Amino acid sequence: MIHLSVNINKIATLRNSRGGNIPDLVQYGKMILDLGANGLTIHPRSDERHITRTDIPAVKKLLSDYNKTSADTREFNIEGEPSARFLDIVLEYLPDQVTLVPVSPGEITSDHGFRFPEDVKILEPLVDKIKQKKMRVSLFVEAGVKNISIARDIGADRIELYTGPFAEAFDHSPQQAEALYQKYVQTAQEAIGAGLAINAGHDLDHENLRIFRNLPGLEEVSIGHRLLSLAMAEGLSSVMNRYLTALAPDS
């Protein structure tokens, strides 16, 4: 079963645009869990343009409380740049999974992955500190990344494949996306061979997932922007059902 972790950054973005607490991040997070999500993802950026530092304990408590009464554990995934600031956050709140993502100054959203061995020097000491606290580590990479075994060598458990190019290709032509998808398959197979599990995220939706869900070794997808954008038109319950159905192997 492929897990769906819903990124709730956009709920915080809407709230921050007006101030106050509407929409309520925790209320919407609980609704998403009630509708079948396997976990929640947040990306607390340094400029706090969506998730703020003060949001994190509330989301942590939501998941902790939810898991006390749920038959299935719902996971907490925090993603962010490899920095002392971000390390302090994850060591304080101890999520189930830490997804390290390269961040460029001024970027609107994540748009590239780590490279090996170029990024080992900055990644290795952070991964070591995170693993000491028994948290799973995933590294954000692009399809076709070279030397993927180095990710495992420095202690990572998973890679998260950056699926923006695949989603953009699908928007133009499903056939074009199918051709690009083979590059993701090759990278996934190399990662599996190196002992890494596979996550994926960025602009995946209920349509392009019908291709991408077949990726070898795919454990989890992290989706926020497209899911929540469609929910504005169709309602959250309908859209969560669409995504969970798209991830089901027999649909």
Active-site positions? 43, 79, 202
Query: Distances in Å between the alpha carbon of 8 and those of 79, 180, 222?
Result: 12, 28, 10
Taking alpha carbons only, the member of 91, 180, 191, 96 closest to residue 149 is: 191
The dihedral through the CA atoms of 141, 205, 44, 36 has a sign that is: negative
215 is written with which tokens?
């990726």
Q: In whole angstroms, what is the distance from residue 166 CA to residue 113 CA?
A: 14
79 is written with which tokens?
């993603």
155 is written with which tokens?
């202690």
Instruction: Note whether 224 and 28 are within 8 A (CB).
Output: no
Taking alpha carbons only, the member of 224, 199, 226, 230 closest to residue 212 is: 199
Q: In whole angstroms, what is the distance from residue 116 CA to residue 139 CA?
A: 11
Q: In whole angstroms, what is the distance from residue 199 CA to residue 111 CA?
A: 16
